Amino acid sequence: MDTNRILAELRAERERIDQAISAIEAVNSTGRPRVGRPPKAARKVRRRGRMSAAARRKMSRLLKQRWAQGKMKRAKASKPVRKMSRAARKKIAAAQRARWAKVKAQQQAQKKAA
């Protein structure tokens, strides 16, 4: 391997790279590498899809219709409210009082036994 020939090729390539770098820097207005985000002119403008007023109205009408259908389904699916008669409530309350009286009597018996 001829090291002199390899060194000469590498130096030539380095010169070509330096020339390319200087050409690119010449295109840049400041002459030095730019840091930060690109200027507004170089930035690509990304536009989002815009909807026309008529399309917005149509979407609004369709969505309201969809919501109304959902409300109708819920109204139909709900069960009727069951009301308890006064007599039934009194009967349940009396049974509950009897249960609590029994529990309290057992607690009293345990206290006396202990």
The whole-number average pLDDT for the span 24-37 is 68
Q: Which residues, 6+ apart, have CB-to-CB distance to 28 below 8 Å?
A: 34
Residue 97 amino acid letter? R
- What is the maximum alpha-carbon separation in the chain? 115
The tokens of 20 are what?
């390319």
The Cα 30–Cα 25 span in angstroms is 8
Query: pTM for this structure?
Result: 0.30
Q: Please state the domain extents for the chain.
A: 1-30, 86-114
pLDDT tens-place string over residues 85-114: 999 999 999 999 999 999 999 999 998 887
- pLDDT: is 44 or 67 the higher one? 67
Cα atoms in the 13 Å half-sphere on the side-chain side of 41: 0
Count of residues making up the chain = 114
Structure tokens at 108: 């009293």
Distances (CA, A) of 113 to 4, 47, 107: 112, 86, 10
